[in-house]
Structure 1
Amino acid sequence: MSISRRKFLKRAGILGCSAAASPFLTPMSFAAMPSDNRLVVIILRGGMDGLDVVQPYGDPAMKGLRPTLKFGEAAGASDLGGFFSMHAGLADLMPLWAKGELAFAHAVSTPYRDKRSHFDGQDLLEAGLGMDALGHRRDGWLNRMLQVMPEADRHSGFAVGREEMLVLTGRAPVSNWSPDTHLNLSARLRRLLEQIYHDDPLFNAAVNEAIELAEVLDPKLGEDAVSGVDAVMMQQQMIASLRGGAHKRVASFAANRLREETRVAAFSIYGWDTHSNQKRALKDSLTRLADTISILKQELSDIWGQTAVLAMTEFGRTVRENGTRGTDHGTGGLMLLAGGAIAGGKVFGEWPGLSEGELYQGRDLRPVMDLRAVSAAVMRGLFGLERKLLEGAIFPGLDMAGAPEFTL
């Protein structure tokens, strides 16, 4: 018996907004460099809703924009100083906030605007470039950082994950590792899937629980049909991967490498495309993120004091909830910063407001800070890189003027 890809995806439960937002891959990258400080970059793929993660309950417009998505004390959120509250899914990180080892940068974005494609947004996020870079193969900003470090041991750096992460791709060599085998999708096939399924309500229901899938598919996904046996096997492997906690293995392995010669690590966490049932899906994803950071802190031990963790996403989500108790692709988003090297205990950024006249295009949180400026400022604090290098070789076209100090 054979079934169409569409029926196969429905039966198997692979329901993300697009292949870029779906949890098929567990890419991870590492690099060594001559410094005692560590930098961990986590790409949150799918477009995390920063307004739900760090909730501006003090903004009078918030309640009317999200009548069913509860926030603040009513949703078990932790207060962050009288205007913002932190989603209950990150509750385990509250001790880090109290110690000044956790912070957030709100209303941030890359230069990406208006198209709201996961793939393009993620490419621009990892390339660290402007809109003119879309559609052109580029290297990543972490790799460019390695290229300008005069004493970096480029041969001892390595990337973890069979899938290439653009953020660490470039002339500085890296090696690969993955806790599980995983799906390889060509860029052409991923974009085709996005175009076909973007408006499909079943596909968009988002399998936000199936994060860090092991390899449950093979090249047959690129064919017109797969067998019913393959579909059943896929479902079984999805469940096994979820129960296995792949994100924990990724975090533990990262910590192990960072205790040795590795100084820069990058990997991804999927499941942030919350078009529907956001209450449940976002909490599950945030719990995985909290687990990841907690494991890094625990296993890095005394090295945690020399570590900065940056968690970032390709774009935010609409300020208004949709008809399926979720949110759609937006603009202004949120970054999470953690680690003993972070000047934490605060929400960075001038709040742009949520009233009608303050929104971007009348629908999105208006960005007030370039996500690249946050990353560059952290890199300057950790590794002493000069501003001219950060604004030129690493993030061409970036203006860091007015960027706060995010590190101690």
Structure 2
Amino acid sequence: MRRRDFLQTIGCSIAASPFVTPMAFASGPWENRLVVIILRGAMDGLDTVAPIGDLEFAKLRPSLGTQNHLALDGFYALHPALASLTPLWQAGEFGAVQAVSTPYRDVRSHFDGQDILEAGIVGPDGGARDGWLNRMIQTVPGLSGEVAYAIGTEHMRILDGDADISRWAPEARLSISAAAEQLLARVQHNDPLFRDASLEALEIAETVAAEQPSGAGYLRAAQFAANRLREETRIASFSVGGWDTHVRQEVALSRSLGRLAEVILTLKQGLGPDWQKTAVLCVTEFGRTVRENGTQGTDHGTGGAMLYAGGALRGRQVLGQWPGLTDLYAGRDLMPTRDIRAHIGWVMRGLFGLETSVIEGAVFPGLDLDPASGILL
């Protein structure tokens, strides 16, 4: 098939597909709220929260410039697509963690990485069939689920398990469904020509979707989550795709980060005064390579970043021990210096009062929660 024909065919198919981002909810006896946003595709934390104070950074990424990034603390700078979140940063309601990862190593598969991120367990079992949020819910007696709703084939494994939860998914036009995006990624990822063409087609479809009044499915998801969280729901989780930036990262990452910023601001607006009792965690399966590739993008890596927001957390800081860029993991990736699950565990401890032994034993088996994260107020 000629490249133009392929782009036209796949682009039109994508544009005609229904948008689906499954959401899962759980109600609880707490006043605090937790929102977990899965950034599917491996967000480049080095571009999002750029270590401009490390002199090696500019040498390793000569084309992916950071001249328009927004200075945060003298060492890190924020991607300009997140500029709308700077008031939250100034108010102490937005922050980041650098050089984190799950214990997943070396294979760098989106599908395995996401599985481990949502299951929260690594080992010969491949993790249990439940997710870490569901296991957390199981540790607290008296929780109730709501009537279940599901549209589409993808689901949030992070809330799978014995505890009752509810599901809901918005619909919108002119975007690829999560299931179709995963299938496309599986069949094309190891073929650079096919991959690059399909990524370009996705970009075309996203551009068309952005021009449509109804192309705001992620915002509808955030609005619905905020409405539920203002009532009896206390935990919500949903996914935002589009983070696999092998090609033309400057364009693709800007679009995805801009969308994420809108989602976070929509949550804040919708939650009203409850925003002060809310923690929003934005997590991804792994980071991306330190060096840029030949197509103005980056490839699958290891260490990455977590973004967080909400009045229940201590913002205006970039947490994490910076490892430097001279000693790279496997000679290519940012060296992770902390398990991302530890920061999540400290949020659970602070928001919901879970004991350390419960977090280390039931929610994230085998995790060492110490030392303190610094993410809590």
TM normalised by structure 2 equals 0.90
Q: For 1:320-399, list aligned pairs within 5 A.
A: 320-355=291-326, 358-399=327-368
Say whether the 8 Å CA contact 1:272–1:282 is kept in structure 2: yes
Task: Give the match for residue 262 of structure 2.
Answer: 291
**Residues 229-268 of structure 1: CA distance to partner in whole angstroms, max 9, x if unpaired?**
xxxxxx98x6777852111111111111111110000000
Deviates more, 1:54-63 or 1:192-201: 192-201
Q: Which residue is 1:13 aligned to?
A: 11
Map of 1:232 onto structure 2: none
Shift of 1:402: 1.1
- The two structures, once aligned, show a CA RMSD in angstroms of 2.9
Equivalenced residue count is: 368
Structure 2 distance, partners of 1:393, 1:191, is 32
Partner Cα distance (2:59, 2:37) in 1: 32
Query: What secondary structure does 1:264 align onto?
Result: strand
- The percent identity for this pair of structures is 52
The equivalent of 1:144 in structure 2 is 135
Structure 1 gaps of 5+ residues are: 17-21, 214-234
Is the contact between residue 280 and residue 310 of structure 2 (CA under 8 Å) also seen in structure 1?
A: yes
Match of 1:267 in 2: 238
Q: For residue 321 of structure 1, report the CA deviation from its aligned partner.
A: 0.3
C-alpha separation in 2, matches of 1:400 and 1:302 = 30
Task: Please give the secondary structure, in 2, of the residue aligned with 1:13.
Answer: helix
Aligned counterpart, 2:371 = 402
Matches within 5 A, 1:15-30: 25-30=20-25
Deviation track 1:44-82 (CA, whole Å, cap 9, x = no partner) reads: 0000000000000000100100001011xx2x2111110
Shift of the 365–242 alpha-carbon distance from structure 1 to 2, 3 Å rule, reads farther
Which residue in the other structure is 2:71 paired with? 79
| Residue pair 2:20, 2:169 contacting (<8 A) in 1 also | no
**Quick one: structure 1 residues 59 and 13, their matched pair in 2 at CA, closer, same or farther if it must change by over 3 Å?**
same
CA contact (8 A) 2:279 2:313 kept: yes
Q: Deviations over 1:115-147 (max 9, x none)?
A: 01110000000000114343x661000000110
Q: Look up the SS of the partner of 1:103 in the other structure.
A: strand
Q: How far has the Cα of 1:13 moved from its partner?
A: 3.0
In structure 2, C-alpha distance between the alignment counterparts of 1:24 and 1:120, rounded to whole Å: 23
Distance 2:301 2:12 in 1: 23
8 Å Cα contact 1:14/1:203 also seen in 2: no
Structure 1 residue 191, shift from structure 2 partner: 6.6
Partner secondary structure for residue 149 of structure 1:
coil
Residue identity in the other structure for 2:70: S
Q: Report what 1:278 is aligned to.
A: 249
- Structure 1 residue 46 corresponds to structure 2 residue 35: no
Contact persistence 1:30–1:157 (CA under 8 A): no
Alignment deviations for residues 9-52 of structure 1 (CA, whole Å, 9 cap, x no partner): 66323899xxxxx9964121111011010000000000000000
Contact kept in structure 1, 2:89 and 2:316, CA below 8 Å: yes
Deviation at 1:286, TM superposition (A): 0.4
Q: Which amino acid aligns with 1:367?
A: P
Show CA shifts across 1:267-312 (max 9, x none).
0000000001101110110000000000111111100000000000
Deviation string 1:299-331 (CA, Å, 9 cap, x unpaired) is 111000000000000000000000000000000
Which one-letter code corresponds to 1:101 in the other structure? E
Q: Which of 266, 274, 289 is equivalent to 1:303?
A: 274
**Does the Cα contact within 8 Å between 2:25 and 2:234 map onto a contact in 1?**
yes
1:99 maps to a residue whose letter is A
Amino acid at match of 2:54: D
CA 1:107–1:141: 2 relative to 1, 3 Å: same
Q: Corresponding residue for 1:255?
A: 226
Unaligned runs of 5+ in 2: none
Contact 2:18 2:171 in 1 (8 A): no
Q: Out of 195-204 and 25-34, give the one that drifted further.
A: 195-204
> Matched residues in 2 for 1:159 and 1:145: separation?
22
How many Å separate the matches in 1 of 2:193 and 2:301?
18
Distance 2:344 2:147 in 1: 20
SS at match of 1:52: helix
